[in-house]
Amino acid sequence: MALIVQKYGGTSVGSTARIRDVARRVARFRREGHQVVVVVSAMAGETNRLLALARELSPSPDPRELDVVAATGEQVTIGLLSIALKELGVEARSYTGAQVRILTDNAHTKARILEIDEERVRRDLEAGTVVVVAGFQGVDRHGNVTTLGRGGSDTSGVALAAALKADECQIYTDVDGVYTTDPRIVPEARRLDRITFEEMLELASQGSKVLQIRSVEFAGKYLVRVRVLSSFEDPEANPTGTLITYEEDENMEQAIISGIAFNRDEAKISVMGVEDRPGIAYAILGPIAAANIDVDMIVQNIGASGHTDFSFTVNRNEYRKALEVLERERAAGRFQARELIGDNRIAKVSVVGIGMRSHVGLASKMFKTLADEGINIQMISTSEIKIAVVIDEKYLELAVRVLHKAFELEKGGNGG
Amino acid sequence: MALIVQKYGGTSVGSTARIRDVARRVARFRREGHQVVVVVSAMAGETNRLLALARELSPSPDPRELDVVAATGEQVTIGLLSIALKELGVEARSYTGAQVRILTDNAHTKARILEIDEERVRRDLEAGTVVVVAGFQGVDRHGNVTTLGRGGSDTSGVALAAALKADECQIYTDVDGVYTTDPRIVPEARRLDRITFEEMLELASQGSKVLQIRSVEFAGKYLVRVRVLSSFEDPEANPTGTLITYEEDENMEQAIISGIAFNRDEAKISVMGVEDRPGIAYAILGPIAAANIDVDMIVQNIGASGHTDFSFTVNRNEYRKALEVLERERAAGRFQARELIGDNRIAKVSVVGIGMRSHVGLASKMFKTLADEGINIQMISTSEIKIAVVIDEKYLELAVRVLHKAFELEKGGNGG
């Protein structure tokens, strides 16, 4: 008998028929004797509908009130799922974030969980009751409703699993696990049986949209065993999905590269021929940060004759704003530069793998593979377990395919 | 400067455009210097949508979970209205029933308010903030979400007005006040400037669908000054609606009859030729009550030769069930009767007025008026301020029209 936290996303509870499917799956785990906590998202489309109503009333709705509105989506689902469970003869009880209570800070629309009072949940579990908790939401010290931001239900699930010291946190979604890359681009992409938190973090932040990045950080911090599964698969088939672990076992040593991540949500800004002096990076990026624009990659080339080229990437939605900020700063004389160049037709491709740490030659293999296809690399950035490059957007699919093949990911990954 | 509680129903907040209208009306009261608490219902259609989802999952959904689902309707509206108010530059803050807190018993789906903690609301009001409260909902001692049943938002409004000792509780709806009868049936129907709580109670329970009956009881008990107004009228026209008072002033003595109420939601059951013995009423109505069927009118004729005829009315939805209960009891020998007759094509028409107390001749005027039109009276029931009769449903409109005319209600009501 285990204590399992299961999280179901919006498409998994997108209709009453789907909710009934979830209830059956939960009932099956109960019948096997497990204690089950279910964390659910709003029904697919519901959060967007609610936010659209708010935006009809204000271009920038008050964040406290936006949370009050948005949190209703998950509240509907917990009630409906509990009704479906009771209809199957399974004792169930729903809780909002405030009822649990999931205490957060007061950063409305992007609150962070501070503490979970798991006593009430534990009492229900011991009585054999399935506990159904609203994801995505919490409550601050003053009783105000807060939400955790998009994808926050994953974080709710992992945080509850951590607080309850659950044996496993199962994240049910519309894919059956984490793949070496997007199967829509590379049909040979392979589902990974296991992956480490760090790799998952890189894959998630690089654009593999399986799990919210904060939930992965959370899981890594509290050593929660997370498994990604599909809610569309037949539960009788005993699907195993992908287990995200914090142990690097032998299997992992073998799998040098775990996957190819990519994203086309970014844009590149280059400040060319800028004076090469201490403080110049701050002069450029300080105003960007002050404008609340997040920066991802940052690259600075070694300068010649006292000048250097400085490039960074931002989210494409903030590209114009970032350029405007820099034009303004440059006009105000805060830095001198020969030229400001923006490019929002770029893509980022990353090779991710725990093996990167110890195996040389992986970077050069990546660069050679791209060069062989005539794909020019515009920026390079590396971390302990990933190499990311920026290329022209039009080569994205080609790059992903040739890298997937070069690292033999369809076979289980070696090629290093 | 006054403290005003305003309650807006579902059609008054049925779209974001309507919510913006409500915000403008509230802003106007704020600008005049009043302290304003706004109580809102779910957007029109929303509660039905939510209940339908629950019923797709279970024919009789768990009441606790049904409340969790249903309460979201009002929560959406409080958030949206607060956003709209802030957009107009009016400080506003939303509260769910649990946040206020509006403490109720734990009778899910039809809970009763026990206590309101008005401290938080009062603090906001004193700071100049408009307080927006979710109607229809509360919380029990254990933190479970409860709802007050259909129309419960009226009760929320009146209860808040009582707790805050508000100067007035304004109920905004889609009609501009209480009428002598339904203007769709009698075009000459006249809006009443004032009406007593008792009359309102009779009118509401007899089917004038302006205010929920429990809210009227509540208002009478705590002497809350309630005013019914239309949210569709131009606020600049300074509409006055109908004031519901607990004082019987001179005006009221004049208006002997305040209105004609009617309803076609009931069905009649007659137990014919039943033995006339002590305990027979209990033998018949006990099992009906045990089956949770509400009974409205009850009439028993004086029996001849040791037998009597016993009739009562129930809600039409429970008509079949009530007949089945009686057939079963009769078959089990709990009572003997010559015949059980049901009729679900009946209507009830009531003449309501505080003047009924002291003026004789009103009943006979009513009976004569109906007789002159050839309308047969099937049952009669009277109270201090009303006379109700059951007639064939097909004569309903005719009966309302001739009674309205006979009592000269279009002129201000005398005719007694």
* Structure tokens that stand for A364 in this block: 């050069």
Residues A334, A328 contacting (CB under 8 angstroms): no
pLDDT digits (tens, 9 = 90+) for A176-200: 888 888 888 899 988 889 888 888 8
- The shortest CB-CB distance from A86 to any of B62, B92, B145 is to B62
Round to whole Å and give the CA distance between B12 and A406.
64
Q: For the residues B318-341, what does the mean pLDDT come to? A: 92
What per-residue confidence (pLDDT) applies to B358?
Answer: 64
A76 reaches B (C-beta below 8 A): yes
Place of tokens 């009228």: B233
The mean pLDDT of chain A is: 89
Q: How many Cα atoms are found within 13 Å in the side-chain-facing hemisphere of B52?
A: 6
Looking at chain B, the whole-number percentage of residues with pLDDT higher than 70 is: 93
pLDDT digits (tens, 9 = 90+) for A299-320: 877 666 778 888 899 999 889 9
Beta-bridge partners for B170: B6, B227
- The shortest CB-CB distance from A69 to any of B50, B79, B86 is to B79
B99 reaches A (C-beta below 8 A): yes
What per-residue confidence (pLDDT) applies to B214?
Answer: 78
pLDDT at B172 over 70: yes
| pLDDT band of A358, cuts 50, 70, 90 | low
Q: When comparing pLDDT for B217 and A172, which is higher?
A: A172
Q: For the residues B103-112, what does the mean pLDDT come to? A: 93
* Structure tokens that stand for A274 in this block: 């800028």
| pLDDT band of A41, cuts 50, 70, 90 | very high
Round to whole Å and give the CA distance between B122 and B149.
26
B56 vs A contacts (CB less than 8 Å):
16
pLDDT at B416 over 50: no
Give the phi and the psi of residue A229 in degrees, each rounded to 5: -140, 165
B87 reaches A (C-beta below 8 A): yes
B64 vs A contacts (CB less than 8 Å):
82, 93-94
DSSP state of A416: -
- The shortest CB-CB distance from B72 to any of A19, A75, A99 is to A75
Under 8 Å CB-to-CB from A234, ≥6 apart: which residues?
A: none
B86 vs A contacts (CB less than 8 Å):
58, 62, 65
8 Å CB contact of A83 and B94 = no
Amino acid residing at B332? A
8 Å CB contact of B57 and A80 = yes
N-term to C-term CA, chain B: 42
A69 vs B contacts (CB less than 8 Å):
75-76, 79-80, 83
Amino acid residing at B388? A
Round to whole Å and give the CA distance between B403 and B258.
12
Site from B48, B49, B56, B68 to mutate, A interface, most A CB atoms within 10 angstroms:
B68
8 Å CB contact of B65 and A79 = yes
What per-residue confidence (pLDDT) applies to B233?
Answer: 83
B84 reaches A (C-beta below 8 A): yes
- The shortest CB-CB distance from B61 to any of A68, A83, A145 is to A83
Give the phi and the psi of residue B323 in degrees, each rounded to 5: -60, -45
8 Å CB contact of B57 and A96 = no
Round to whole Å and give the CA distance between A68 and A71.
6
Round to whole Å and give the CA distance between B271 and B381.
17
| pLDDT band of B252, cuts 50, 70, 90 | very low
- The shortest CB-CB distance from B75 to any of A16, A57, A72 is to A72
pLDDT digits (tens, 9 = 90+) for B262-294: 989 899 999 988 887 777 888 888 898 888 888
Model-level ipTM above the cut of 0.90: no
Round to whole Å and give the CA distance between A157 and A226.
10
| pLDDT band of A252, cuts 50, 70, 90 | very low
Q: For the residues A324-330, what does the mean pLDDT come to? A: 94
pLDDT at A247 over 70: no
8 Å CB contact of A82 and B99 = no
Burial of A250 (0-12, 13-18, 19+ CB in 10 A): exposed
| Counts for chain B of helices (H) and strands (E), in that order | 14, 20
8 Å CB contact of B96 and A68 = yes
A99 vs B contacts (CB less than 8 Å):
143
pLDDT digits (tens, 9 = 90+) for B290-314: 888 888 888 877 666 778 888 899 9
A62 reaches B (C-beta below 8 A): yes
pLDDT at B414 over 50: no
Q: Which range among B87-91, B203-207, B363-367 shows the weakest confidence by mean pLDDT?
A: B203-207
B121 reaches A (C-beta below 8 A): no
8 Å CB contact of B57 and A71 = no
What per-residue confidence (pLDDT) applies to B322?
Answer: 94
pLDDT digits (tens, 9 = 90+) for B29-50: 999 999 999 999 999 999 999 9
What per-residue confidence (pLDDT) applies to B178?
Answer: 85
A402 reaches B (C-beta below 8 A): no
Residues A76, A42 contacting (CB under 8 angstroms): yes
A91 reaches B (C-beta below 8 A): no
A102 reaches B (C-beta below 8 A): no
Give me the domains of chain A, ranges plus CATH numbers: 3-251 (3.40.1160.10)
What per-residue confidence (pLDDT) applies to A255?
Answer: 52
Under 8 Å CB-to-CB from B310, ≥6 apart: which residues?
A: B270, B271, B274, B280, B281, B284, B299, B300, B301
Cα separations in angstroms, B304 against B46, B270, B309? 54, 16, 10
Site from A68, A69, A145 to mutate, B interface, most B CB atoms within 10 angstroms:
A68
Looking at chain A, the whole-number percentage of residues with pLDDT higher than 90 is: 58
What per-residue confidence (pLDDT) applies to B204?
Answer: 66
What per-residue confidence (pLDDT) applies to B203?
Answer: 77
Give the phi and the psi of residue A267 in degrees, each rounded to 5: -135, 155
Q: How far is A138 from chain B (nearest CA, A)?
A: 14
Angle CA(A137)–CA(A140)–CA(A143) in degrees, nearest 5? Answer: 100
Under 8 Å CB-to-CB from A127, ≥6 apart: which residues?
A: A91
Alpha-carbon Rg for chain A in angstroms: 23
Beta A168-173 vs A3-8: how paired, if at all?
parallel
B289 reaches A (C-beta below 8 A): no
Q: When comparing pLDDT for B379 and B144, which is higher?
A: B144
pLDDT digits (tens, 9 = 90+) for A230-246: 888 887 777 889 998 87
pLDDT digits (tens, 9 = 90+) for A93-109: 999 999 999 999 999 99
What is the chain B residue with the closest CA to A80? B54
* Structure tokens that stand for B362 in this block: 């009103």
